[in-house]
Structure formats: structure tokens, C-alpha cells
Structure 1
Amino acid sequence: MKRLLVSLALLLAASPAAAWWEYGHHSVGRIGYMLAKPGTRAKIDRLIAHSRTLETPTCPIRTIEDAAYWPDCAKGLKERFSYSSSWHYQNVDICKPFDLKAPCADGNCVSAQITRNAKLLADESLPVRERVMALAFLAHFVGDLHMPLHAGDKADLGGNRFGANYGVIAGRTNLHTIWDGYLADRGISNPPGGPAALIAEVPTAERPAIAAGTVEDWSRENWEAAREFAYGTLMADPCGPTPTGRPTVDEATTRRLIPVVRARIARGGIRLARLLDEALS
């Protein structure tokens, strides 16, 4: 059993990570779709019906979940969509005053691309292909922004250079992989699991306040979450030296972080619904 666990840990640690992996993006997309107005959902369905115009047969879009994950799938098409690689995150230093100017130079960051793709989605004069792509990018990037290590870091590539273990999973794991995948999957699936359960935890009366604000406001919120939870959970001083050893996110820590992960994804879905309604209603 010990040898099996070690082998599994090495295999998982070597696997490429996609933002929030599939489950996180699927969940943000589904919550956004669930909370959008009926007319908005109908227009989303009509756009998805034209998804073949993207000509990405290895990355089909049949549902809002597919759309929300499509930009990560499209990374596998290499040069064709390589221009979008810097759009999935913004490395805003958690140990300096919040400022998006440098990380978002020329619009190459996740918050700028949320705003851009919301405008493209709303523009009915554009070819349908462009609007389908904008729908996918918008749903995906709102999810990305709500993964704290896509919104803030400490000059370590969003935690990719911060070696850490997730329980028995070690090897090449790092803080980014833990939050992007293992912790996200655990948080979403923790009973009661799934998008409907996550949004049910947010009282209806509180949702308008969560949906309010600007993309910059949401960026600041998730930047603060990176400092407080992603780094602060493993370091007494999030802005202190990175540990020389490999700290471990153990079971007790995971249980404390599950509500944080669930709240990030629910908030992302609530805000996605607002943006979809604004673009399509």
C-alpha cells in the first residue's frame, strides 16, 4: 500500500495543472448559468449551438461547463491560442500596495480580459464565432480570477515556486497546484457537493452585494485571499521568507480551507451571472 501511494503521488505530482482544473471551472460556469436570467440562458444556448465555428474538435463545447473549461483545453492546441497564455492570471504582489497597472500592461492579465470579453460577448455585430469564443473566455476568466493564486502572489509565479505537500502527495507539488487542483476538487466535492450545493450556501439576500462592484474590486478581494489563506495558512508572516522545507497542507488545514474554496467558487459564479446578464439581456 505504501509503495502504491508513493507511485500515485509521483504520478499526480507530474501531471500538468490547469486553472481550477476542470471541476472548478465547470462549477463557476454552471452557477453563473443557473443564476442568469432565462433570456440570458436562452442566448447562451444559441451561442453554444454554434460552437463548431471555433473549429476545435478536440475541445468541443456542448454545455456551459465545456465553455468554461475550453480556454484551458485550447492550451493544448499550442501556437494557435498561445497569445492568450498570460490572460489567465495576474501576478499582483501581496506584499506591496495593490496595483494592477504593471501586471496588466497592455491588457495582458485576467481582469482586463474579463472586461474585454464581456464587451465582445455583448456586441451582436460581431461574427458568431467571436462571440462564442468571448463567452468561453469570459466564463473561464471569471473562474480564474477567483482562484486566489491567479490574483496575487509573492514573486513566485502564483505559488508555482513555493514547494509544498498536500497530505501524502509530495514530489513536485507546489502551493499553486494544491489550490488549483487538489484543494479545489476536495472543496467542491465535500458533501454536500456540486455547484447547486455551493450556491445554496450563499443566502439569496446576500447575492446582490456579492455581485456588485467592479472587476478591480473582485481582483483586490482575491488578492487579499491569496495573502490571508493561500500563503497565510502555511506561513506566520505571508511576506516573510519562503520556508526552506516543504510545508504540508494536512487534513486539518484542508478542512479549514474547504469553506474558503467553496466561497471563492460561489462568488465567481454569482459575478459571472451578473456579467452574462449585462452582456446578453
Structure 2
Amino acid sequence: MNRFLIPVLAGLLSSTLASPAAAWGRQGHALVAEVAQTRLTPQAQAQIDALLALEGHPDIAAIASWADQLRERDPELGRLSARWHYVNLASPEQSAQEKCHYQPAQHCHDGNCVIAAIEQQGQRLADTTLPAEQRLQALKFVVHFVGDIHQPMHAGYSHDKGGNDLQIQHNGRGSNLHALWDSGMIATRGLDNPAYLTRLQALPDPVLAPAQVTGWAENSCRIAVSDGVYPARRRIGQAYVDQQLPVAEGQLRLAGEHLADLLNTLLATPAHD
């Protein structure tokens, strides 16, 4: 069985842990999609183009933030999918050795987490017997959630809601640690999407291990709990950005590579009319 096509439960229970803010922001999610776009196989690209044409989207970057817009556009689906954006793999009371090891029964017992969501929506995307509209929705979820799972705050601690509760000062404004990683540090570059994509493409090629969604989350968690990510002071200075922004950019590039790998695998077989 394809390693991505693992049936999962998708219980639609409300969360007792508040969901994090939108990972990466619109620019970050678009950049992940743009990195992936350049690495799609012809077979995957053909199926994606056919699905995007249903709503006139030019590329997957155009749908990359769709899942974050559901709260306004489709509140019911937004509520039902709220916990699909993250997974909490660490708690302060755990030892370093205990953190960041995914246990489905503990971290995703009802199927409502980003790991299960990618697997489930990937299965729907690959199922050519489903109506094209359903496969397009699955594509939107997959593109977004692969970005989410590479944002370290979406796989780290639960006690502070992925850094949302940790208030900071950055560039003279109040914010929180989650928002800083979403878009605050990225914005300091002052680059538009084409220029930022060029920057990401110039990074050294990441070493891609066999694609395992669980491993993506665990790697993000290890970043979230590593020394220096949680600042010693609430006022964020340039030294923090200089240290952590390259980490965030590496995750953006890696997310794009993994998204392409996943889409190429899921869509390896041409669809039949």
C-alpha cells in the first residue's frame, strides 16, 4: 500500500486545545506551493491542472491559504477542520528524550490532527473514482497542511497553544511567538514572492529522507523545543531573527520539496475520464 494512503478516522469533535494561528501566513504558504510547483512530474501536473481548472485557479499557490480562510467562507467546515492544522508532540514535563515522538493514541486518538489530515486528504486526492470537486477540495487541504506541518509551532507544545500564548515585542509591536514564526520574521526580508522564491531556491538542496508524514511533524517538533527558539526575553531583537529566520526559511524550502514528493506520489497514475 502506498505509504501515504493510510485510512484514518476523522472524528469531528471540538478541540480542547485551541488551534494555532495560520501557519506561515499567506506569503509563506504561497512560497511552499511555488517551490513544489517547480518539482511536479508531468503526470501530477496534468491532474492538478485539471482540478484547478474547475475553479479557474492558475496554480497551487492560489489555493495554498484556502484552508485558513474557511472560518470566514465556510464556518462549519472551518470548525470541523480546525484541529487538522497542528499536532502537539511535546509538553514541558517531558524529558528531552520523551518529546517529539508521535503516538497516535496519545496525540491523534480521534484522527483530528495534521498528520492524519494529510494522510486522509491525500487518500481522497488520489482516489480518481471520487467526483473532481471532492478531489479539488482534498488538494486544497493537502497543499495547506503540508505547509502547516513544517511550521515548528504547529508541532510543538500544547500548554501555550503552539506559542500563541507567549506574548512578545518585535519591531516595537506586541505579538506572540507563534505569529513571529508564521510571518513576523519572514516579513523582515521585505521581499515579494518572486524574490523570496529565488532566495529559497538558492538554499542548499535539503536531504530528503523517505517521505513519512510522521517524520515531518517530529522534525518540526524538535525545532520547536530546541534551545533558543523560546526566547529568554520577551523583547525580540535582531540576534534572535538572525538565528531563527534561516531555520524558518529552511522549513519553507523543505515543505515545498516534501509537498512535491507527496503530490508526485499520490498522482503518479494518470486519471481516466
* Equivalence for 1:99: 102
* One-letter code aligned to 1:189: L
* One-letter code aligned to 2:165: R
Structure 1 residue 131 displacement after superposition: 0.5
Q: Is the 8 A contact 1:159 1:176 kept in 2?
A: yes
Q: Which one of the candidate residues 34, 39, 44 is aligned to 1:35?
A: 39
* Equivalence for 1:3: none
* One-letter code aligned to 1:169: R
Cα distance in 1 for partners of 2:42, 2:198 equals 17
Measured at CA, do residues 72 and 181 of structure 1 come closer, stay the same or move farther in structure 2, by a change above 3 Å? same
The alignment status of 1:251 with 2:251, answered yes or no, reads: no
Cα distance in 1 for partners of 2:231, 2:192 equals 22
* Equivalence for 1:273: 260
Cα distance in 1 for partners of 2:89, 2:243 equals 25
Structure 1 residue 195 displacement after superposition: 2.1
Q: Which one of the candidate residues 60, 66, 69 is aligned to 1:73?
A: 69
Cα distance in 1 for partners of 2:47, 2:222 equals 35
Q: Which one of the candidate residues 215, 221, 239 is aligned to 1:223?
A: 221
Aligned counterparts, 1:201-220, within 5 A: 201-203=203-205, 206=206, 209-210=207-208, 212-220=210-218
Aligned counterparts, 1:168-207, within 5 A: 168-170=172-174, 173-186=175-188, 189=191, 193-203=195-205, 206=206
Structure 1 residue 43 displacement after superposition: 1.6
RMSD: 2.3
Structure 1 residue 275 displacement after superposition: 0.5
* Equivalence for 2:251: 264
Deviations along 1:26-70, whole A, 9 cap, x unmatched?
011111111111221222111100137xxxxxxxx4431121111
The alignment status of 1:133 with 2:129, answered yes or no, reads: no
Compute the TM-score of the two structures, normalised by the length of structure 1. Answer: 0.79
Structure 1 residue 103 displacement after superposition: 2.5
Measured at CA, do residues 118 and 22 of structure 1 come closer, stay the same or move farther in structure 2, by a change above 3 Å? same
Unaligned residue ranges in structure 1 (runs of 5+): 1-15, 53-60, 236-245
Q: Is the 8 A contact 2:223 2:229 kept in 1?
A: no
Cα distance in 2 for partners of 1:257, 1:105 equals 32
Cα distance in 2 for partners of 1:43, 1:190 equals 29
Q: Is the 8 A contact 2:27 2:193 kept in 1?
A: no
Measured at CA, do residues 210 and 159 of structure 1 come closer, stay the same or move farther in structure 2, by a change above 3 Å? same
Compute the TM-score of the two structures, normalised by the length of structure 2. Answer: 0.81
Structure 1 residue 94 displacement after superposition: 4.8
SS in structure 1 of the partner of residue 65 of structure 2 = helix
Deviates further, 72-81 or 105-114: 72-81
SS in structure 2 of the partner of residue 164 of structure 1 = strand
Cα distance in 2 for partners of 1:33, 1:121 equals 17
Q: Is the 8 A contact 2:118 2:146 kept in 1?
A: yes
Structure 1 residue 19 displacement after superposition: 2.0
Q: Is the 8 A contact 2:151 2:181 kept in 1?
A: yes
* Equivalence for 1:112: 116
Deviates further, 71-80 or 120-129: 71-80
* Equivalence for 1:9: none
Any runs of at least 4 consecutive aligned residues in structure 1 with deviations exceeding 6 A, and if so which? none
Q: Is the 8 A contact 1:87 1:113 kept in 2?
A: yes
What is the aligned length? 241
* One-letter code aligned to 1:227: V
Cα distance in 2 for partners of 1:73, 1:29 equals 17
* Equivalence for 1:90: 87
Measured at CA, do residues 177 and 27 of structure 1 come closer, stay the same or move farther in structure 2, by a change above 3 Å? same
Aligned counterparts, 1:53-72, within 5 A: 61-72=57-68
Deviates further, 90-99 or 80-89: 90-99
Structure 1 residue 89 displacement after superposition: 0.7
Cα distance in 2 for partners of 1:192, 1:64 equals 15
Cα distance in 2 for partners of 1:187, 1:83 equals 35
Which structure has the highest helix share of the two? 1
